[in-house]
Amino acid sequence: MVIFFRKHFVAAILGFAITAIFVAYQFTIDFRVPASRSTSLLIGFFTVLCPPALLSIPIIDAEVGTSGFYVLWVFIAVVNAVLYSAIAGAIARLRRKPS
């Protein structure tokens, strides 16, 4: 039972960490400059790893570095952590042998 919860916790930490890396990457790029092909591919890759990031699209007022930005991305990180934990739980349930 402990291993079951540990897998959920590790998956949740991974989901949260992926979002944190995405936010750190946003601090390093300059959004005023047109995106290069590699930047667009990397943002697309992060979006695949963090689907809740799509929730940030309608909220254009949350610019990088503002308080709204931090609140939005903490929410997205928590949602991504829950998503990763749920996926880990589904995989664990499917891999469990029937009794």
What CA–CA distances, in Å, run from 23 to 18, 33, 45, 49, 53? Answer: 9, 18, 13, 13, 10
**Does residue 84 or residue 3 have the better pLDDT?**
84
> Residue 95: what pLDDT?
81
Look up the pTM and report it.
0.81
The number of folded domains in the chain is 1
Full residue range of the structural domain in which residue 27 is found = 2-95
| pLDDT, tens only, 27-86 | 887 666 666 766 778 888 888 999 998 888 888 777 777 788 889 999 999 999 999 999
> Residue 25: what pLDDT?
86
Measure the CA dihedral 62/18/52/81, to 10°.
-120
CA distance 69 to 85: 24
Residue 97 C-alpha from the chain's centroid: 30
List b or e across 48-83, with b for residues whose CB sees 16 or more CB atoms inside 10 angstroms: ebbebbeebeeeeeeeeeeeebeebbeebbebbbbb
**Does residue 29 or residue 9 have the better pLDDT?**
9
> Residue 56: what pLDDT?
84
pLDDT of 14 > 90? The answer is yes
